[in-house]
Amino acid sequence: MTASNFMVIPRKKIILFICHQSASLRPQDWQEPMADLNIIADVEPVLLFTQPSADLTPQTWFRLAKEIYQRLNKAEGFIVLHGIDNILYTSSAVSFLLQNLNKSIIFAGVKSDQPDSRKIEIRANLINACQTATYKLPEVCLMFGNRLIRASQSVESNDASLNAFNAPLSGTLGRIDFSVRIYDKAVFNPKGKPKLFDSLNEKIQTITLSPLIDYKNLASQIADKEGIVVNANSYRNLPTELINFLSKKAADLPVVIWNQSFKDPLFLPKNIITIQNMTWPTTVTKFMWATGVAKNPKAVKELMAKNIAGEIIS
């Protein structure tokens, strides 16, 4: 074959943000697949964070969203290489910080603990993410194994499968067989221009319900807080003491009670928001966003009920 037999096809530009580094995910683990990724697109790596993802905080969520926003017109899509720890928080937070997306933000990483299989898994997940990122899907998604799912509807999977996360049907955006197949009907199509929000309220108190809660201590903990999120998922009825506490001490604060299995109607104080149709990380990050932008508990309640980025499970 001679050089004249070859043609150059212009490739799409994809930006790969590196947001995790650890002994089990070293720089060479993403550097080695770069040759493969560059068959699909012109991939530019950007090193953002060099700590393990378990150490990422709300400040890093905002930095990531800002870095993507600044490059929205410079690439067709974005991949975020992230550790399993905190990935649901980071990706959900990005869904609320960066709204009305017109391009894909695909979070990928590696689940396996075995060194040999990790190498292939990270390579395959990045290749699948790269191909998906070229489709300009207006979503923040996770790509692990053979599933493409909406980040804000995802939960961690406990089985041995390479599908590290699961999502209900409403959050399943595609699958991999011999190619990436997108379920167009499931895709959330936002209206308006992409928008970056510059604040998430970090003065939020999260409480996981258990019989050990010390309500006196809790009162001092919430003294300077601007919102409370209660994880009551393992309860069928709320403890009376909690209801009394929230009625008295938290009367002026927006309060969310997250429970996916409440069946009976709950008689709660007016300002309390019950959330059943979102995941826990999404509830927390959406509440941080909502209390950051809304001026009063009523407005927070309205925002929490609104489908902002396809996070509400139908």
Binding site for other proteins (CB under 8 A): 1, 5-9, 11, 33, 35-40, 120, 123-124, 127-128, 130-131, 144-147, 159, 161-164, 175-180
- Residue closer to other proteins, measured from CB, 145 or 227: 145
- Residue closer to other proteins, measured from CB, 84 or 207: 84
- Residue closer to other proteins, measured from CB, 144 or 289: 144
* Nearest approach, Cβ of residue 178 and other proteins (Å): 5
Residue type, 247: S
* Nearest approach, Cβ of residue 160 and other proteins (Å): 8
Closest CA to 205 of 259, 152, 255: 255
Residue type, 69: Y
* Nearest approach, Cβ of residue 249 and other proteins (Å): 46
| Surface-to-core class of residue 2, CB atoms within 10 Å of its CB (0-12 exposed, 13-18 middle, 19+ buried) | exposed
Hey, which residues does 258 pair with through a beta bridge? 231, 275
- Cα angle vertex 63, ends 58, 67, to 5°? 150
- Residue closer to other proteins, measured from CB, 157 or 233: 157
DSSP state of 232: -
- Residue closer to other proteins, measured from CB, 32 or 302: 32
Question: Looking up tokens 């979503």, which residue turns up?
Answer: 139
Residues in the chain: 314
**Separation between Cα atoms, residue 63 and residue 142, nearest integer Å:** 19
Residues 45, 74, 92, 66: what is their CA dihedral angle, to the nearest 10 degrees? Answer: 90
* Nearest approach, Cβ of residue 63 and other proteins (Å): 30
* Nearest approach, Cβ of residue 83 and other proteins (Å): 18
Closest CA to 309 of 175, 164, 154, 108: 154
* Nearest approach, Cβ of residue 26 and other proteins (Å): 18
- Residue closer to other proteins, measured from CB, 42 or 226: 42
